[in-house]
Structure formats: structure tokens, C-alpha cells
Amino acid sequence: MQNETLHAYLDREVGDEHLRDLLDRIASACWSISALVCRSALQGNQGEAGSVNPQGEVQKPLDLMADEVFARSCAGNGRTATLISEEADDITVLKNPSPGDFVVCYDPLDGSSNLDVDLSVGTIFAISYVPEDASQNALPAGHQMVCAGYAIYGPSTMLALTTGTRVDGFSLDPETDTFVLTHPAMRVPPETAEFAINASRRRHWDGVMRDYVAQCLEGPTGPRGKAFNMRWTASMVAEVHRILIRGGIFLYPTDDENRASGGKLRLLYEGFPMAMIIEAAGGRATDGHNDILDVTPKHLHQRTSVILGSAGEVDLIAAAYTQAERAPDGSRLT
């Protein structure tokens, strides 16, 4: 129901009281992070923190602050057993995991290189239950995730949430400090003429990706028969949000430079949650060969190729990768 508060929505939509409580806490953490992002320059929280994360990426002060805020919110739930954070080397064990407890995978501040230039950043999270046979170090599989969402800190702060069958968007009302349902039942249009890729990496791409982008750039007289637009915001949350609003395709393929590490983006707290969200909204998410949610996580900060968005466009590239596997002569896309 339009303008319903997130709290009322959760009461209506989420049967598990402990999951409702956890989501309320995560929303509160995102509200706090939104305020930190908004005041980062005023509070001297820009620049570098002088440390690196498990990926070797330079951390910003707000990466660490957002991580602490988010972790503290989840810990207060009393049923959150483990946390898997982009900013932490290892799994954080909050309590001895029991079936029915939660595992939360999250990126507390995705796209933080945008902070100092005042572009959109976000928080990404996915929640799964501790399975019956789980050890403390068990990694949740994509299809074990029961809830995924993100907050985007942009011109407005929004929260997008799915428990698997739909995606609903909530806008933060700064006058009441509450999230209000403004984008019910978000759907990804099946077709698009807008692609998002870091084109500066073209020299590292495989033949399929080079062909795909080249054909988009050939425009109406080329094999695609239409003009394409390109976007790249260096913030996955912003790209996914745009795709949920107006369609599109986001591509961060494994390439010759990052292939040894498995790609750029991380499976557990970028790939899985965003794949669950996009698919719940009727889109598709693949690593080029497998649906991302089908990929088996083998280690904490495992990386993956990510191709997600409008299902028709993702299908086209997935088919090209299948064809390339069968005829490894770098077959053209169409």
C-alpha cells in the first residue's frame, strides 16, 4: 500500500518476528549510515582511513564506520549468529549458531570511492538462516538466502527489499526519519537499450564481451538495429537501482587482468544479494555460464563475473558465452 511505513509493511509481509526485528534494525542502520554519508565532509570523514580491506582496497573512514554501525545493529537482534562483511577478513561469530538463527552477508558501503565526489553509494545485504548442519564457518549458498536488499544514499535515501517473490522500494522521509513505501512491486523491463560497463577495461575483455559492446556501439545500422546508451557510476547499488527503475544491463565480467582472482565483484555480499533482487523483479543474473545464485561459494571473499539486468539482454550474452564454449573461435554474438 502506497506510503505504508516499512515497519507496518514488515508486520504485514514478514511472518518471522525475529526476521522482522532484524530488518527493522538493518533499516535503522541504513538510516544512521545515510546521516554519516550526508555529513562526511562536515565531520572530516573523507579521504583515506590508512588501512586496506581483505580485497587490498584502500578503506575510507566511512567504510569502517558503516561496518561498525551495521554490525552493531545486527548483533542487537539476539538471533544473528554470524556476519560476513566486505570489510572483515574473517566471519564474525556473534553466537553459537543454532538452526533458525541468521547469517548476514553485507557490504556496508559499496562504491565508497564515490564518497568524496558526492556520488551515490550504498549498503548491500543478504540474510539466510543457519542451516541444520551448519558449522560456524559455513558459507550460505545463493538459494539459501531468504531476504536481500540494499540502501542507496543518493539525492534521496532509498531501501529496496525482497524476500524472494517481489521487490519493494522505500524512501526515507527526512521529516519523520521513517522509510515509506514509494515503489511497490518494482519490475525490471525485459528489454533495454542501456548498458553499464567500465569501458576502460576493454583491452582485458574476452571476445564475447568485446563483441557485445561493439555491437551496442554500432547503433541502429549495426546488428542490434538500435541506438544504445551507456552508463557507469562505479557504484553497483546505483547501477542496480537504475535497472530496477528503467531497465538496463550491468556488466562486470571476469577479464584477463582479474581472472586469476575470479573477477572484481564479490559473490557473497554483492553477487548473491543483487542477483536475488534482480531475479525477484523479473530480471536475470549470470556469471556468463551459470545463474549467479547457483554458484557454490567456496571461500569468504570469493569473486565472480556479474552480468545482470533486463532478462532479454542477459539471455543474449549468456547464449553467446554458451556458443563460444562450443566453438572457441571467438564466435560473434549474432
Binding site for ligand P6P (CB under 6 A): 110-111, 113, 198, 234-236, 264-265
- Measured from the CB of residue 124, what is the shortest distance to ligand P6P in angstroms? 8
- Measured from the CB of residue 10, what is the shortest distance to ligand P6P in angstroms? 27
- Measured from the CB of residue 111, what is the shortest distance to ligand P6P in angstroms? 4
First to last CA, the chain: 44
- Measured from the CB of residue 148, what is the shortest distance to ligand P6P in angstroms? 15
Do residues 314 and 284 make contact, with C-beta atoms less than 8 angstroms apart? yes
Closest alpha carbon to 72 in 129, 28, 7, 10? 28
Q: Which DSSP state fits 135?
A: -
- Closest to ligand P6P by CB, 8 vs 234, is 234
- Closest to ligand P6P by CB, 202 vs 226, is 202
Measured distance CA(75)–CA(93) in Å, rounded: 10
- Closest to ligand P6P by CB, 128 vs 235, is 235
- Closest to ligand P6P by CB, 236 vs 268, is 236
Q: Is the dihedral of CA 162, 166, 172, 173 positive or negative?
A: negative
- Closest to ligand P6P by CB, 242 vs 264, is 264
- Measured from the CB of residue 328, what is the shortest distance to ligand P6P in angstroms? 27
Do residues 194 and 246 make contact, with C-beta atoms less than 8 angstroms apart? yes
Q: Which DSSP state fits 150?
A: E
- Measured from the CB of residue 197, what is the shortest distance to ligand P6P in angstroms? 9
E strand or H helix at 108: strand 102-110
- Closest to ligand P6P by CB, 111 vs 288, is 111
Q: Residue 255: phi, psi to the nearest 5?
A: -135, 180
- Measured from the CB of residue 238, what is the shortest distance to ligand P6P in angstroms? 8
Residue sitting closest to ligand P6P (CB): 236
- Measured from the CB of residue 73, what is the shortest distance to ligand P6P in angstroms? 22
One-letter amino acid of 331: S
Task: Considering only the C-alpha atoms of the chain, give the largest distance between any 2 of them, rounded to a whole number of Å.
Answer: 61
- Closest to ligand P6P by CB, 212 vs 252, is 252
- Closest to ligand P6P by CB, 94 vs 314, is 314
Q: In what order do the strands lie in the sheet with 102-110?
A: 92-93, 80-85, 102-110, 121-129, 145-153, 157-162, 167-173, 178-183
HSE, side-chain direction, 13 A CA sphere, residue 324: 20
- Closest to ligand P6P by CB, 12 vs 299, is 299
Do residues 160 and 6 make contact, with C-beta atoms less than 8 angstroms apart? no
Closest alpha carbon to 103 in 51, 145, 161? 145
- Measured from the CB of residue 133, what is the shortest distance to ligand P6P in angstroms? 32
